[in-house]
A and B are shown apart, each in its own frame.
Chain A
Amino acid sequence: METAFDQPGERAAPAGLKQLKDELILQGKMDVIEEGQKIGSVLVVGAGISGIQAASDLADCGFYVHLLDREPAIGGLMAKLDKTFPTDECAMCILSPKLVDCARHLNINIITYAEVTGLSGTPGNYRVTLKRKARYVDEAKCTGCGECVEVCPVQFSSEFDEGIGPRHAIHRLYPQAVPNTFVIDKRGQSPCRAACPAGVHAQGYIALIRQRRFREAAELLRRDLPLPSVCGRVCYHPCEEQCERRYVDEPVAICDLKRFVSDWALAQDEAVEPLPILHPERVAVVGSGPAGLACANELLHRGYPVTVFEAADRAGGMLRYGIPAYRLPEQVLDEEIEHLVRLGIEVQTGTPIKSVQSLLENGFRAAFVATGAPGAMPLGLPGEDLEGVVDMLSFLEAARRGTLSELHGDAVIIGGGNSAMDAARTAIRLGAGQVKIVYRRSRAELPAHDWEVEEAEREGVQFEFLSAPVRLEGPSGKVERVICRRMELGEPDESGRRRPVPIEGSEFSVPATVVIPAIGQENVPGSLGSEIETTARGRFEVDPLTLQTRVPGVFSGGDAVSGAAAVVEAFAAGKRAAESIDRHLRGLDLKAGRSVEPAVAPRPELSGVAQSPRAVPQKLAAPESAKSFEEIVAALSEEEALAEAERCLSCGGCSECQQCVRQCEAGAIRLEDVDREDVLEVGAIILTPGFIPSDAGRKGAYGLGRYPNVITGAQFERILNASGPYAGEIRRPSDGKHPRKIAFVQCVGSRDVREGCNPYCSSICCMASIKEAVIAREHDRRIEPTIFYIDMRTHGKGFEQYFENAKEQRGVAFKRSNVAKIYEKPATGNLMIRYADEDTGCIIEEEFDLVVLAVGLVVNPESQALLRALNIPVGNDGAALETLPGIFLGGGFAEPRDIPEAVTEGSRAACEASRFLAEVRGSRTLKKKYPKQLDATKQPARVGVFVCHCGTNIAATVNVPEVVAHAARLPGVVHAGEFLYSCSQDALEAIQQAIRQHSLNRVVVASCTPRTHEYLFADTVRETGLNRFYFELASIREHCSWVHMEQPEQATRKAMELVAMAVNKVRRARPVRRKYSPVVRQGLVIGGGVSGMNAALGLAEQGFPCVLVEKADRLGGICLQRRFNWCSPDPQPYLRELLQAIEGNPNITTCLNSEVAAFSGYLGNFKARILNRISGEESEVECGSVIVATGAVERTPMEYHYGSSERILTQTEFEQRLADEAPDLAGIRNVVMIQCVGSREEPNLYCSRVCCTQAIQNALVLKRKHPDAAVYIFYRDIRTYGYRENLYREAREAGVVFLRYTLEDKPVVEPGPRGVRVRCKDHISMREILLDADLLVLSTGIAPRPEAEQLSRILRVPLTGDGFFLEAHAKLRPVDFSSEGLFLAGLAHSPRFLSECITQAQAASVRAATILSQGKIESKAETVEVNERLCSGCSLCLAACPFDARRIDEDTGKATVNEVLCQGCGACAVACPNKATGQNLFRADQILSMLEPSAVSAGE
């Protein structure tokens, strides 16, 4: 029975999960929190596997969880892995369901791309502040279709792929990312754009040019600039001065690229669509120079109708008349202005405007006055009005108009600016004899650009520096000479330049036929000056930020305001005015937010950028250039432009090219996004910051970072990965070749005390490398992997066997050697490894194609900032010292660990939070409510089919309208429709609308994949009152459009068939109603050792009563024998504290001398019979879940004459004697230890994990008490993983002697009267050595309890081949049994240390609490049904069921199904000979009906 919700008048069921969650979170936030009352929600920081586990455990046991990660998706390091050891499962395949579960969990709120910035509040009642980083993509709108990536022109090396292979600026972390939302990598404004007065997206158009997308590049430019081709010729390109490429070689030729692509666009001569007019308000622009046109262009693009008034007969202003044709051909200007006119700008030439008021009165709502600076500044010298004296502007204009076509005699130009150069070079072209520039200061002070000066000189222009005209002379009325005076430079003036000071008596004469003053231009306000206020210099007076004049609605900018300035500055002024006018017309604040300078992107990484020369366009060389007005500089060729564009370093990250904005049909891109702050109120915080691959060993003798074919293990994982840079093909970075010989070098930067290295062992690398070697060979049989190692550390459950198997069966070579050095062979990129051969001691060099370095793990360094944000003090080693109550450290803050341990850690942290917040459990959780279900079983099927375009993911290949039309004709279908994105909010609402409108009772969505979306659609359907199994998803993207991209017709047909199959299936669907059973809210813990005690205490403190059953007469288990521990806790004091806690807790009932004799029931409802072994009494315990913690024993050795002498002990016996300070230890001289006694060889192939550390720890204790005693440890591999490595180092420093032996050459022990003689071969000298030991200590390892087998039968849970209990999943369910409701912890699971047992036990207790905290248990939807008429009671199904869900009813003799236990796997349905058993969701008639459409098609 589902929860009924049928009160009328309640708010309509919200459509879609996302919205619902947002709404409810909002409601949750509004709750009033009383001071001191704990809050029943938890923040988990770090969404790797550990954090994910903590979050799901907590959400499952009654807490609302915020799961936060700084990356844009959850998954952490595990998402990067290819396969996992020792089962070789695909990491993503096992991780992905957990990610999806998190995403759809009603009580988990995933927050990605965010950081914790602060903490306040009190324990249990915290306020956490967050920074949510700007994602630039709206998470609510992004459907994850990925079309934006296709158009993004910017690429970087992918961090997710560890720097191998590229990713785009817009990207998602990995294909299965959760949330499936893209993110844009914006690093700030690129320096080129920041330097551009007009803010042109230089990096954007360069990125598009690089991709040969010239049209898009030109469009981007035209959006930024009215006349890009003009700008590409005349701009002084301040962008290039800031180009970061200058630190590599030379700046990118940004301006030449602009010209190239703008010229390309002009040459296309395509039809131009006028831009749409969106606003009624007309705007007038007075003046058609660059400022006016820029304003008009910008306003037009914003949808305003614009009219440009020009006094002259042609548009262009100073561009047309003030710039010589050799720099800017008229045709270019004409064509670009023509383009603007075609876009919709109205240009009225020959229309001088006398009054802006009259414009405003005549229908214009705003005006921009950009009349330029057409007035030449007078020289103010005698003789200025002589004939032959002509100001620069008039001179240039006459030349351009052709009214002046020849010049005779000598020309003198006065001034040193760019206009002076223009005038001089024009004079040369007009045929003047001698052209001389007279300038007051020296060459260094010339305001003209260097290149202008140089070209002028090359064309023959001469300079008179440090000279100033005094008067012009011409007795005939025509100017004949300029009288000048020499100057010298004095003190600097206000411009910072040194002021020229005349030298008395230095006058000289320069002959001149023409004198051209070029000393400046000013505005000529004319009649407008009576309306608009002007400055003393006659410039219009405006607000510098908004360009607003005092006349409302009138703005002014360009040369009219600034005096003569560069073209690009005029463009900038026009754009600035347009922004103001837009704001003015929309009634917005003109100033808000405009004075903030956007942050400029930091300098990109420049090391590794190869130098490449800057493109230089073809030029007409002087003196040829001086002979005509032909354009001097040519555009770059296409090849040159493409090569030049490649030089761009993409400093800004995202180039803001707008391509994704245009492409995204969901409208999800928000380029203006900003970082936001957020506040969470939570009761507890769990930190699981995780690990990252260490960068130790980045330099040095192995060449990582220098030799391309030396890579890290993490990089190799990506190479192996199907979604990695080489799509799963094993290639090497230097040349993409398939490597044959691959070397794996272990312990790189690990177990190394040098600075920058890790002194500890990272625990996982040995197994990781073996796995990588094995998987590499699975990819490509020709690969010959060799692993170079120091100690092989395969100490985990099932690891030793994996190692043996790799060595013996799977072709992996192992060489025990610390590699000395790696040489690169320059010709091939191959690598020579130099190492010492273990057997011969000789130095060998061996060649490999690829070298993989196992670099180990470090705690994510960003966790330090997290600790600071949470006010957690940090010790010198970077580890947290202590935390406030309610803040728990998990995962990465401890030592490096593999996945199951990280998962266990996550659960352990969840347990602590669950204990801390036990009293507010359930106070913040959400429960979704649905309307009452309608009964549709009796109605004929009315199917609605909705086909998704998935943007173009489906629609580009599959003809969606055809599929819709086909679907509409299918039997039972009454409605068919299509959506651009079916998963978008409006589409989901439309589906619900259609269900109501057409009375649909069955729904098919043909879309992407059920993996991520089936739940969403089924939930949408359920919200309308239909059973959720009246829904089917036809996967026409992943099963169709994506795999048949090249065959659109066949794909369309296949899509039709898939839809038809789904329709047939759903027509025959029956509603599924889940069964519920109540939960007994009590736990049972079997085994009273440290694990069992912790499990019981964990449950009790979470608020659940539990029964703790112990076989012996006291609690404590094997820990009673432990006297030392290599790290905290100290065993015996710890045990005493634990006992007190157990005894003091009323929730715990302890049964000593007891064992479980019988067990029955199912999840949530078990019954155990407890037998008291002394009294023989039996009692029954009802419980909702069970934790097995029955422990293990120290193995009793048969080897090395154990038992024959008092001098031969086990490590535990030795530990007792050491702790008790046994008197016979007093004069001890020699102690010999032998490791791996009876371990790591048949029949006990496993490693017991603890013995190396235990032996070393005992050796150190002995050394401390008896420094003169010698200790010799015979070992095979020292497995002091993690921080235990430090103990090993300490032992070596203390003088403990380590001697290696092999299985073939074991030590030989001869007990004698005065000691034990041990013979063995020394692995270094290769000689036999003899040791006379006072004591021989045997490390014998941990053996499973013999009674485990019996218990496994009673509980019906499996054991491993070694006799330990077998967990449900080696990686992700490490403390669960596959039978639901049963959990395990401690040595019963596998050998491990005390602290690891405690962690596991606490983890198991929170896992058990996820069941106990529920009032009732819901059965799986997928179950099997038995048709009793057909059942013969043969019992075959009982044997087939792996979940023990089947019984034969004693009364009827028919098979029955326990629906709570049944997992719906269908094994029984296959086994049943009578077809009496069938799966409810895959009934035979459904499957057969699904075959019909494809059978028809096959028969055609």
Chain B
Amino acid sequence: MGQYGYYPGCSISSSAREYDRSTRAVCATLGIHLTELPDWNCCGASSAHSLSKDIDLALSARNIGIAHRLGLDMVVPCAACYNRTMHAWQTLRDDPEKRAVLQAQLGFDFRADLQVYHLLQVMEQHLAHLKEAAAHRLPEDGVRGRRVACYYGCLITRPRGINPHEDMEYPEGMGRMLAELGYQPLRWSFATECCGAALSLVRGDVVRERVDRIIAAAREAGAEAVVTACPLCQLNLESRQSDRFPVFYFTELLGVALGLPETEKWWRLHLINPVKGLPQRA
């Protein structure tokens, strides 16, 4: 069902292990083959691009080069990694001078036909297959069919042009996909609201206020959980809220829909066990 160069990024290997595991499990079930990029490096998201544009570009270009050597499209689960990688990819595509320098530095030939995807896009591309696989696995589960608020945060769609697959102000892909799998994504106004993650260390007060607002809005909209596609958002939403509101990775919900047996193990990796936070069903 397809093969991708998998760029996990740092969060995936630490705070977002459940994102990594659910991603791998879902892909395995669907027959999507993920090849982790050998010797991948940091995308530089947290600070590189504000210190040196060259370093920023080179860091991501190197990862792209690795995928190129494998001859694979690249899939990135983290929003920040996606943002930086996509930025580098677009620069490689559009700026011949920089391309020449980077190719020389990193020793690879850029190919515009090898794409960089956020994990959401890859899953959407396999939606028909997902649905089919989900249809054959019916065990009732406490998570299935829940009312959810899809949360994109800022980096998956912004700045304009970084993500050709989604509307910047009103992305819909995640909701479409979850609806097809039987969840009930709700209309709410906070899908692309900034969660303040960038200020996490320096202005915890600002972040707490922003996170609480998002969580409150999700509750107000009638959601039972928030769903994210970004480890930074997820960590921030879980750790900074004054509530105990469930925050899932979208891949976890895909895993539930597929009836995967190991979902229990993912819940335990959360700061707030999301399933325990779900309201009891009548």
B45 part of interface (Cβ distance < 8 Å)? no
Given B160, B189, B220, which contacts A703 in the complex, CB threshold below 8 Å? Answer: B189
Query: Contact at B220–A701, with CB atoms within 8 Å?
Result: no
Does B187 sit at the interface, judged by CB under 8 A?
yes
Contact A699 B167, beta carbon cutoff 8 Å: yes
A826 touching B160 by the CB < 8 A rule?
Answer: no
- Any chain B CB within 8 A of the CB of A706? yes
> What chain A residues lie within 8 Å of B188 (beta carbons)?
824, 826
A825–B167 CB distance below 8 A: no
| Interface: B277 (CB within 8 A) | no
Contact of B222 with A by CB under 8 A: yes
Of A699, A706, A754, which contacts B187 at CB under 8 A? A706
A700 to B157, CA, bound (A): 12
B158 CB, nearest partner CB in chain A, Å: 12
With known contacts A822-B189, A824-B187, A826-B188, A699–B169 Cβ distance under 8 A: yes
CB-CB < 8 A to B110: which residues of A? none
Q: Does A1174 make an interface contact (CB < 8 A)? A: no
Check B220 against A826 for contact (C-beta < 8 Å).
yes
B261 to chain A, nearest CB (A): 30
Chain A residues with Cβ under 8 A from B222's Cβ?
826
Ordered by A's residue number, 18 sampled pairs between the chains whose C-beta atoms are within 8 Å are A700-B167, A700-B168, A700-B169, A700-B170, A701-B170, A703-B189, A707-B187, A754-B160, A821-B189, A822-B189, A823-B190, A824-B187, A824-B188, A825-B220, A826-B187, A826-B188, A826-B221, A826-B222
Q: B220 to chain A: which residues have CB within 8 Å?
A: 825-827
Per-residue CB contact flags for chain B residues 218-246 toward chain A (1 = under 8 Å, else 0) read 00111000000000000000000000000
Q: CB-CB < 8 A to A700: which residues of B?
A: 167-170
State the CA gap A700–B189 with chains docked (Å): 10
Report chain B residues within 8 Å CB of A825. 220
CB-defined contacts of A824 to chain B, threshold 8 Å: 187-189
Q: Which parts of B178-226 form the interface with A (CB within 8 Å)? A: 187-190, 217, 220-222
Contacts of B169 in A (CB 8 A): 699-701
A602 to B190, CA, bound (A): 35
Question: How far is B225's CA from A1412's CA once the two chains are assembled, in angstroms?
Answer: 77
Q: Which residue of A lies closest to B167 (CB)?
A: A699
Nearest Cβ on chain B to A707's Cβ, whole angstroms? 8
- In the assembled complex, the CB of B70 is this many whole angstroms from the nearest CB of chain A, namely 34
A822 to B187, CA, bound (A): 13
* Cβ < 8 Å to B, chain A residues 817-832: 821-827
CB distance from B217 to the nearest CB of A (A): 8
A827 to B220 CA separation, bound complex (whole angstroms): 7
Give A1263 to B47 CA distance when docked, in angstroms.
40
How many Å lie between the Cα of A701 and that of B160 in the bound state? 14
Contact (A699, B189) CB under 8 Å given A825-B220, A826-B221, A827-B220: no
Given contact pairs A699-B167, A707-B189, A821-B189, a sample of 17 additional A-B residue pairs in the complex whose CB atoms are under 8 Å apart: A699-B169, A699-B170, A700-B167, A700-B168, A700-B169, A700-B170, A701-B169, A703-B189, A706-B187, A707-B187, A754-B160, A822-B189, A825-B220, A826-B187, A826-B221, A826-B222, A827-B220
Nearest chain B CB to A371's CB is how many angstroms away? 47
Q: Name the residue among B167, B187, B222 with the largest chain A CB count within 10 angstroms.
A: B187
Interface size class of A (residues with CB under 8 A): 10 to 19
Complex: chain A residue closest to B160, CB-CB: A754
Q: Whose C-beta in chain A lies nearest to the C-beta of B172?
A: A699
Closest to A754 in B: B160
Residue from the set B167, B169, B189, B190 with the largest chain A CB neighbour count within 10 Å = B189
Please report the C-alpha to C-alpha distance between residue A1085 and residue B189 in the assembled complex, in whole angstroms: 61
CB nearest to B192 among chain A residues: A701
Q: Which residues of A contact B189 (CB under 8 A)?
A: 703, 707, 821-824
In the complex, what distance in Å separates the CA atom of A285 from the CA atom of B167? 65
Docked complex Cα distance between A826 and B190 (Å): 12
Q: In whole angstroms, how far apart are the Cα atoms of A707 and B170 in the complex?
A: 12
Bound-state CA distance A754–B220 (Å) is 32
**A823–B189 Cα gap in the complex (Å)?**
5
CA A822 – CA B222 in complex, angstroms? 19
Give Cα A699–Cα B222 distance, bound, in whole angstroms.
22
List which B246-274 residues lie within 8 A (CB) of chain A.
Answer: none
Q: List the B residue with the shortest CB-CB distance to A823.
A: B189
| Chain A residues whose CB sits within 8 angstroms of the CB of B160 once the complex forms | 754
Interface residues of A in 656-688 (CB under 8 A from B): none
Contacts of A821 in B (CB 8 A): 189
What 6 A-B pairs are tightest by C-beta distance, nearest first? A700-B169, A823-B189, A826-B221, A701-B169, A699-B170, A826-B220
Q: How far is the CA of A699 from the CA of B188 in the complex (A)?
A: 13
Smallest beta-carbon distance B172→chain A, Å = 9
Closest to A697 in B: B169
Looking at the assembled complex, report how far the CB atom of B192 sits from the nearest CB atom of chain A, in whole angstroms. Answer: 8
Residue interface bits A815-848, CB-to-B below 8 A is 1, else 0: 0000001111111000000000000000000000
Residue of B nearest to A831 (CB): B189
* Distance A822 CA – B188 CA, assembled complex (angstroms): 11
Q: Which residue of A lies closest to B217 (CB)?
A: A823
Within the complex, what minimum Cβ distance (angstroms) separates B215 from chain A?
14
Encoded as 1 (CB less than 8 Å from any A CB) or 0, chain B from 151 to 172 comes to 0000000001000000111100
Within the assembled complex, what's the spacing in Å between the Cα atoms of A826 and B188? 7
**What is the CA–CA distance of A701 and B171 in the complex, to the nearest angstrom?**
11
- Whole-angstrom distance between the Cβ of B89 and the nearest chain A Cβ: 20
**A699 proximity list for chain B (CB < 8 A):** 167, 169-170
Report the nearest B residue to A700, measured CB to CB: B169
A825 vs B187: C-alpha distance when bound (angstroms): 10
CB 8 Å contact bits of A71-113 with B (1 = contact, 0 = none): 0000000000000000000000000000000000000000000
Cα of A146 to Cα of B70 in the assembled complex, Å: 71
Q: Which of B113-149 contact A (CB under 8 A)?
A: none
List residues of chain A with CB within 8 A of the CB of B167. 699-700
- How far is A822 from B169 in the complex, measured between Cα atoms in Å? 11
Bound-complex Cα distance A827 to B222 (A): 9
Q: Min CB distance, B153 to chain A, in Å?
A: 15
Residues of the B chain whose Cβ atoms lie less than 8 Å from the Cβ of A701: 169-170
Beta-carbon nearest neighbor of B179 in chain A: A611
B170 cross-chain contacts in A, Cβ below 8 A: 699-701, 706
Q: How far is the CB of B224 from chain A (nearest CB, A)?
A: 14
Task: State how many angstroms separate the Cβ of A702 from the closest Cβ of chain B.
Answer: 8
CA distance A1018 to B168 in the complex (A): 63
Distance between A607 CB and nearest chain B CB, rounded to angstroms:
10
A826: chain B residues within 8 A (beta carbon): 187-188, 220-222
In the assembled complex, the Cα of A395 lies from the Cα of B167 at a distance in Å of 66
In the complex, the chain A residue whose C-beta lies closest to that of B223 is A826
Cα A302 to Cα B16 in complex, Å, equals 75
Shortest Cβ gap from A526 to chain B (Å): 53
Give the distance in Å from the alpha carbon of A821 to the alpha carbon of B222 in the complex: 21
In the complex, chain A residues 670-726 whose Cβ is within 8 Å of any chain B Cβ: 699-701, 703, 706-707
- Complex Cα distance, B169 from A512, in Å, reads 72
Residue of B nearest to A698 (CB): B170
In the complex, A706 Cα to B185 Cα: how many Å?
A: 13
Residues in A whose Cβ lies below 8 Å from that of B187 = 706-707, 824, 826
Residue of B nearest to A826 (CB): B221
Q: How far is the CA of A822 from the CA of B192 in the complex (A)?
A: 12
Q: Which residue of A lies closest to B189 (CB)?
A: A823
Complex Cα gap A821–B221 (Å): 17
Give Cα distance in the complex from A700 to B192, angstroms.
Answer: 10
A154-190: contact bitstring with B at CB < 8 Å (1 yes, 0 no)?
0000000000000000000000000000000000000
Which chain B residue lies CB-closest to A708? B187
Q: What's the Cα separation between A825 and B219 when bound, in Å? A: 11
Q: Contacts of A703 on B, CB cut-off 8 Å?
A: 189
A700 to B187, CA, bound (A): 13
Q: How far is the CA of A1429 from the CA of B222 in the complex (A)?
A: 86
On chain B, the residues within 8 Å of A706 by CB distance are 170, 187
Distance of A699 Cα from B167 Cα, bound (Å): 8
* Chain A residue at minimum C-beta to C-beta distance from B161: A755
Determine how close the nearest CB of chain B comes to the CB of A43; give it in whole angstroms: 42
Residues of B near A707 (CB, < 8 A) are 187, 189
A823 CA to B170 CA in the complex, in Å?
12
Chain B nearest CB from A924 CB (Å) reads 54
Q: Name the residue of chain A whose CB is nearest to the CB of B220.
A: A826
